[in-house]
Chain A
Amino acid sequence: MVDALRSAGRVLRSRGRIVDLRPANGYKPEIVIRRGPRRVEVGPIVRDPDPDVAAATRAVRQVVRAGEFAVVHAARPRWRSTYADLRAVENTLAESEHWHLPAATRRRIVREGRPGDAREMVGVLSLNVLRRR
């Protein structure tokens, strides 16, 4: 990961920026159904402990401490991603080996969801913007 940051630094213009967007350490995403103003909390998405997320945090800290990059912006924004149906939710989760839809949450999506409802995944991200020093 440190190598990836250094490679990125080599292809940047002098005033260029590196953006590191990823799940925040230890956050727990969940599924919510929205029907107009009504909001139903359906249940959690299981996210395996991902050692790579912690390693990425360490990598950013390492290159900053070494004086190679400086952090110009850091935030932990909440994110929300909207899906029309259960299949779209499952397709998205299938792209990550670390995220799984528990059977109980899936059952509640089926039970609570109506055509026209929005199925939302909500969680917390880590956003770092770096510049080369």
Chain B
Amino acid sequence: MALIERGVRLGGKDVLEVGCGNGRLTLAYAGRARSVVAIEPNAAIVARARARARSARLRRVRFAARPAQTGIRGGPFDVVLFSYSLC
């Protein structure tokens, strides 16, 4: 997380995370962001991410099972984060 925040601050920001996987990275910053929409094409993995967010009592994060090709919508966002997903 510190690596990303060398380049951009996520605290207080509206963030779209593309390719959130199981939410490992998402949970590291979601408590400080104003809002997070995290998308991931694999519905089973999204379910795991949701469960982790619930366990962590994070309320400002919303996970959606959708691919980047059609999933980059909504907003506006302050940050769009491609976590291992542009490639």
Contacts and interface: CB of A to CB of B under 8 A. Distances in A.
Contacts of B79: 16-19
B57 interface: no
B33 interface: no
Contacts of B14: 13
A11 B86 CA distance: 16
Contacts of A52: 87
Given A8-B18, A22-B87, A55-B87, A17 B72 contact: no
A4 B77 contact: no
A77 B6 contact: yes
B7 A4 contact: no
A79 B76 contact: no
A56 interface: yes
Chain B interface extent, by class = 20 to 34
A20 B8 CA distance: 11
A73 B87 contact: no
B35 interface: no
Interface in B1-50: 3-4, 6-8, 14, 16, 18, 21-22, 45
Contact of B7 (A19, A50, A60): A19
A13 B74 CA distance: 11
B45 A11 contact: no
B77 A95 contact: no
B8 A19 contact: yes
Interface string A16-57: 111111110000000000000000000000000010110110
When A and B form their complex, which 6 residue pairs have the shortest distance between CB atoms, in order from nearest? Answer: A11-B75, A73-B7, A56-B87, A129-B7, A7-B72, A8-B80
Given A5-B86, A20-B86, A22-B86, 12 more contacts: A4-B68, A4-B86, A13-B76, A17-B80, A20-B82, A50-B87, A56-B86, A73-B8, A79-B3, A127-B3, A129-B7, A129-B8
